[in-house]
Structure 1
Amino acid sequence: MSNPNKQRTRGVLLVNLGSPESTDVGDVRTYLREFLTDPRVLDNPAPIRHAVVNLFILPSRPKDSAEAYEKIWTEEGSPLIVISERVTELLRERVDVPVELAMRYGNPSVKSALRKLASMGVDDLFVIPLYPHYAMSSYETAVAKVKDELAKLPFRMDLTFQPPFYDDPAYIDALVDSAKEYLEQDYDHVLFSYHGVPERHIKKGDPSGCYCLQTADCCRKKNPVHGMCYRHQVHATTWAFADKAGIPPEKYSLTFQSRLGRDPWLTPYTDKTLERMPSKGIKKLVVMSPAFVSDCLETIEELGMEGREDFLEAGGEEFHLVPCLNDHPKWIDVLEKFVREFEEGALVDEHPVIPQP
């Protein structure tokens, strides 16, 4: 039995998505298998999910993905891992508790990070999933992974999770500051491109089954389901950013990228929108991807290379991609603020979970 008078030892765990170990096709295949067999990413029943992954995706996709990773790989390794490690070090300099980094898929693993924190005596752990918005395929799976791994280990910790921070004023301020130099230039339009999710993921987060995606303005009307609605939350980030930066409604729009498979995903699609914009008079474009806090394959290659090419080939003249928050000082300020709030007991740890098949 634990001693209620024992002094608790706090610690912090940052959790990001992950990356293959290298650009080798085998390493990419290993990474994709772990990622795509997660029931919160591909949420079909297990037999269907494993058949789709092993028969239709893994035979060919790893080679294409490996070629894409080769375009962005640095001498230090995967940009997402390198940036996340740098952010971890910067946060360590700001706070007086142990801080470790883990990836939902790949390394450093959640299990190894928990073991390391436990070896430092941590028994009161604050987990920050590095996702501003609630989605079952990002935020929720990170929360579930930490809980599942801890349950298998021979020690116990109290867990507190940072809630999604999509409309946190400090996060919005950091985003605006990171884009300042791009917004001070002459531009026709700002495109906010968010990672897409299947429409069924949004509907699963609606217990009533009759609100989300039922009307064009469902994201604007206040509703309790917004706490688990990725679509509402990315719109809320966009509205808050535009208001803070003074961007009029006609000069910005929101799209979704990175769809997979044939099921309906959230629209409008980023790639199709980029191809149409020049014909509508949008020649000078600023692009942001606020769903990612660290630059990665989806931002550097999908947007910065493929998206740029699509826009320019369609008649666009200037394409400016705003980097993710990465190690921006104001982003480190935000993370420090979250840790201070945890230390002060200001967080409410409530996490509804979307039922899995």
Structure 2
Amino acid sequence: MEAKAALLVNLGSPDSPTEEDVRRYLNEFLMDKNVIDLPWPLRRLIVSLFVLPKRPAQSAKAYSSVWTDEGSPLVTICYRLLEQVRQYTDMPVELAMRYGRPDMESAIVKLAGNPEIKELLLFPLYPHYAMSTVKTVIDKAQAIISDNQLPISLNVHPIFYDHDDYIGALVNSARPWLEKDYDHLIFSYHGVPERHISKDDPTRSHCLKSDDCCHKPSHAHHTCYRHQIYRTSASFVEKANIPVDKYSVAFQSKLGRDKWLEPSTLDTIRQQAKQGAKKLLVICPAFVADCLETLEEIGMEAREEFIKAGGESLELIPCLNDNPEWAKLLSRWLEEPLKA
């Protein structure tokens, strides 16, 4: 009897918060053509001369501040999610990281080793499409299957940025924080270079061509990260009944000098403090599991900046992580995938 298996994939983490392991991880991550989308010689030059000499030491310090006894927060949380998902489905399910370990190749080869499995459902753990997240995971899976001549077909689960059940799970998980007294909610999304938005536009004539492009109907929205994060935010505030003047959308984690999506999260946080906000909430819906970018960049660095600017408290709303409602929803989507 033919069967299918599923592979959950997230970004990844260094093996440890040491400078050596962080350097190895950053090299793999940044040399991906979907992350730094430049010709290989130029990409190699940038990474070797401008990133790897100093960035590993800085990042290792940041990783050390969030590392747990179990290891990387991202990997640990994803394993806890995997165990819950396995409780709700009989389908073989594995976990992999696009960079680092557990690696995608080992997981796919393992699943394909079962002769009954003829279809692999690839589930990138990202609500929104971007070339540096979903596309690179798909490219890697396709290459692994081809290079190893594996006798399985690949089916990719669609993104789910505004699916009602996903928004519901997100709102429910955030409700304990939303019920507190707060002045403003910031949706902080991982930023991407504007050129990535333009490259992902299949029409080549819509994205970033006008101030309101994300709100005009277009086929380009199927692969437009910017449109999708605005839809997530709008759907969230509608379901959570948050007034339009009580939230903002911003972008974090800029790398390099290229023009990235704006406004920046840190600038938005400082502006809120300048306008008199004392209590901020920050939620990061581009991530389904807490990681360096949420725990350290927002939970520590952004909080420090807000207080320095005159604020009193900044609370990070945790990601969905291994929330039972999210685990059940995810396992249901594995059994009955959404339609693109």
Q: Report the TM range for the smaller structure's normalisation.
A: over 0.9
Distance 1:166 1:120 in 2: 33
Distance 1:24 1:88 in 2: 26
Residue 14 of structure 1: CA displacement? Answer: 0.3
Match of 1:236 in 2: 231
Taking only the aligned residue pairs, the percentage that are identical comes to 51
User: Which 4+ stretches in 1 moved above 3 angstroms?
Assistant: none
Q: State whether structure 2 residue 235 is matched by structure 1 residue 246.
A: no
Residue 119 of structure 1: CA displacement? Answer: 2.5
Match of 2:67 in 1: 73
* Partner amino acid, structure 2, of 1:247: I
Q: Which runs of 5+ in 1 are unaligned?
A: 1-6, 349-357
What pairs up with 1:85-124 in 2 under 5 angstroms? Answer: 85-121=79-115, 122-124=117-119
Distance 1:162 1:26 in 2: 35
SS in 2 for 1:219: helix
Match of 2:250 among 238, 252, 255: 255
Q: State whether structure 2 residue 11 is matched by structure 1 residue 17.
A: yes
Distance 1:276 1:156 in 2: 55
TM-score of the aligned structures, taking structure 1 as reference length: 0.93
Distance 2:195 2:294 in 1: 24
Match of 2:205 in 1: 210
Distance 2:210 2:247 in 1: 21
Residue 137 of structure 1: CA displacement? Answer: 0.3
Residue 273 of structure 1: CA displacement? Answer: 1.2
Q: Deviations along 1:289-330, whole A, 9 cap, x unmatched? A: 000000000000000000000011101112111000000011
* Partner amino acid, structure 1, of 2:295: I
Match of 2:25 among 28, 31, 34: 31
Distance 2:4 2:297 in 1: 38
Distance 2:183 2:68 in 1: 32
Distance 1:282 1:71 in 2: 27
Match of 2:261 among 262, 266, 271: 266
SS in 1 for 2:260: coil
Match of 2:136 in 1: 141
Residue 337 of structure 1: CA displacement? Answer: 2.1
Distance 2:300 2:175 in 1: 22
Distance 1:318 1:59 in 2: 35
Match of 2:35 in 1: 41
Out of 85-94 and 204-213, give the one that drifted further. Answer: 204-213
* Partner amino acid, structure 2, of 1:285: L
What pairs up with 1:325-344 in 2 under 5 angstroms? Answer: 325-342=320-337
Contact kept, 8 Å, 1:341 with 1:347, in 2: the verdict is no
* Partner amino acid, structure 1, of 2:178: L
Say how many residue pairs are matched: 339
Match of 2:275 in 1: 280
Contact kept, 8 Å, 1:219 with 1:232, in 2: the verdict is yes
Distance 1:222 1:163 in 2: 19
Residue 64 of structure 1: CA displacement? Answer: 0.4
Q: Deviations along 1:70-97, whole A, 9 cap, x unmatched? A: 0000000000000011111110110011
Match of 1:351 in 2: none
Match of 1:186 in 2: 181
Distance 2:306 2:73 in 1: 24
Residue 340 of structure 1: CA displacement? Answer: 2.2
> Are residues 71 and 120 of structure 1, via their aligned partners in 2, closer, same or farther at CA, if it must alter by over 3 Å?
same
Q: Deviations along 1:159-217, whole A, 9 cap, x unmatched? A: 11111110111110011001101111111111000000000000111233332112221
Residue 154 of structure 1: CA displacement? Answer: 3.7
Q: Deviations along 1:89-143, whole A, 9 cap, x unmatched? A: 1101100111100100011111100121123332211111000000000111111
SS in 1 for 2:14: coil
Q: Deviations along 1:264-311, whole A, 9 cap, x unmatched? A: 000000011111211112211110000000000000000000000001
Match of 1:289 in 2: 284
SS in 1 for 2:8: strand
Match of 2:48 among 49, 54, 76: 54
Q: Which runs of 5+ in 2 are unaligned?
A: none
TM-score of the aligned structures, taking structure 2 as reference length: 0.98
